[in-house]
Amino acid sequence: MERFVDITVVGAGFAGMYTIHRARQMGLSIQVFEAGDDVGGTWYWNRYPGARCDIESVEYSYSFDDDLQQEWEWKERYAPQPEILEYAQHVADRFNLRSDIQFSTRVVSSHFNESNNQWVTTTDKGDIVTSKFVVFATGCLSSANTPQFAGATSFTGDVYHTGQWPHEGVDFTGKTVGLIGTGSSAIQSIPIIAAQAKHLTVFQRTASYSIPARNDTIDHSYVKDVKNNYKQFRDANRQQTGAFGSNILRYDISALSVTEEERRAEFERRWEQGGFAFLSAYNDFLLTPEANETVAQFVREKIFSIVKDPATAEKLVPQQVIGCKRLCLDSGYFETFNRDNVTLVDVASSPIERITSGGVVAGNVEHEVDVLVYATGFDAMTGSLLKIDIRGRQNKTLSDAWEAGPVTYLGLNTAGFPNMFMVSGPGSPSVLTNMIMSIEQHVEWITDCISHIVSSGKATIETTEKNQDEWVAFVNAVADMTLYPSCNSWYLGANVPGKPRVFMPLIGFPTYVDKCNEVVANGYEGFVLA
């Protein structure tokens, strides 16, 4: 079907959904394409056992509509995937969003036509849509990373990836399961798979730090307090570096300014409390190795105290800086290694060599498994964008423009790609924040900008190479003031072989928002409006 709209949007997760709502308020026509058969994005695809948000539910939710935030009732402190998906579906129903979304349709290409300043977007279903603007709401953790192990296709058992989990679920009863990876998805799913499977072998390349989530049913009196002051609560969160946690985080004291006894008492208190508050006990964990080591060592001791077999505990103890990879929150992860039916295999010293028809070979040992689970993460932040054939001026592809790593201005636009926007693109705070707060801020900025272009009779808006180069340098300079770049994280693209090593998210939500507002106040400074 061929059609013309003001805005074409790729993706119907929380970003695409809110873009529809805003576009309608502005009287702009919109067409959204979504590969899944319903809304929800990340929470549509990541249905693995134990999948749960690591930001508290009263915070990980839209703030744009007060009736919505007052009326929706969360059931748990950290919402599990089915509850977040149900919430996304409720929002779609409530605002009648689905009428602008074409589901089960994957965007194949999006090309800018310089002769009429229009984007032509095509899909795998044969659609051709022409629009003045294109918005990529494709998500940061939406392109599954499956390492290419030799012999992988010869495996005869069932194979799953945590980020592409079957909707009908998986029954591991009686199965011998191999699970590759020990990031957040693995840490959430391992305890549940282990409780079901006959045997679980976990292949670990890098040990992860994990803190108890202490998930529970939601505290209704707390929710009542939040709802009585929801606006102030949201505003206070937006003043936090990560746009969440104003009630639990504290950033005023150095870890090195107190005695060891004080530190330990504070760590113990926060370990019992659970969640990300743990890493904000002091303000310099990600600034100095000495401060970081105080808390890293505390967690290592906790792991040794939980895991009974000393050799297994030794392998599970991480050595890198704590927090430079996203901290994991768990429900009984380390305890799971005390089970008789769980084995940990270290594949750092002896990497996985190949997959056979019935097992995984590492260090010359074949570990027999009849089900294989890849918990190997994502080609984060850029993967889903670069899978689409996106072409800007002079037919230049986004892949070519980003050959040495993603270059954007504010994580919103790239030079040579006029009227193209990314929601939570590389160069914006995105994955270092409560994503929904970042999404709302981006969608509001983008739709306000589009409305401005349309009403002022301009044809195009785009940044310049100079601006984006300065922005990328700034994002990396901020990261270099911290310990974030010190380990091989997906923030740096280090988890995907061959991916350019660039620190992609900007640290610091409030200053970023100020900058975005200042850019607008100064007549879209840093952009060329033609």
Can you give the binding site for ligand NA7, defined by CB under 6 A? 141, 147, 162, 180-186, 203, 205-206, 326, 347, 352, 375-378, 488, 490, 495
* Residue (128 or 348) nearer to ligand NA7, CB: 348
Cα–Cα distance list, 508 to 29, 158, 238, 283, 471 (Å): 33, 42, 10, 14, 14
* Residue (112 or 149) nearer to ligand NA7, CB: 149
* Residue (185 or 467) nearer to ligand NA7, CB: 185
Minimum distance from CB of 199 to ligand NA7 (Å)?
Answer: 19
Give which of 111, 101, 115, 95 is closest to 32, Cα–Cα: 101
- For 381, the enclosing helix (H) or strand (E) is none
* Residue (285 or 378) nearer to ligand NA7, CB: 378
Structure tokens at 248: 């639990």
Minimum distance from CB of 54 to ligand NA7 (Å)?
Answer: 7
> Do 83 and 74 contact (CB within 8 A), yes or no?
yes
3-state secondary structure of 276: helix
Structure tokens at 111: 């090309």
Whole-angstrom distance, CA of residue 11 vs CA of residue 31: 10
Structure tokens at 233: 């609560």
Minimum distance from CB of 488 to ligand NA7 (Å)?
Answer: 6
Structure tokens at 261: 């006894």
First to last CA, the chain: 31
Buried b (16+ CB within 10 A) or exposed e, 310-337: eebbebbbbebbbbbbbbbbbbbbbebb
Give which of 492, 475, 438 is closest to 18, Cα–Cα: 438
Minimum distance from CB of 495 to ligand NA7 (Å)?
Answer: 4
* Residue (160 or 490) nearer to ligand NA7, CB: 490
Whole-angstrom distance, CA of residue 7 vs CA of residue 133: 5
Minimum distance from CB of 67 to ligand NA7 (Å)?
Answer: 30
* Residue (360 or 472) nearer to ligand NA7, CB: 360
Residue nearest to ligand NA7 (CB): 183
Minimum distance from CB of 449 to ligand NA7 (Å)?
Answer: 28
Whole-angstrom distance, CA of residue 492 vs CA of residue 515: 23
Give which of 314, 298, 312, 297 is closest to 266, Cα–Cα: 298
Minimum distance from CB of 504 to ligand NA7 (Å)?
Answer: 13
* Residue (21 or 161) nearer to ligand NA7, CB: 161
Minimum distance from CB of 219 to ligand NA7 (Å)?
Answer: 24
Q: What is the DSSP string of 437-450?
A: HHHHHHHHHHHHHH
User: Which DSSP symbol is given to 145?
Assistant: -
Minimum distance from CB of 146 to ligand NA7 (Å)?
Answer: 9
Length of the chain, in residues? 530
* Residue (183 or 245) nearer to ligand NA7, CB: 183
* Residue (60 or 490) nearer to ligand NA7, CB: 490
Structure tokens at 210: 């994990």
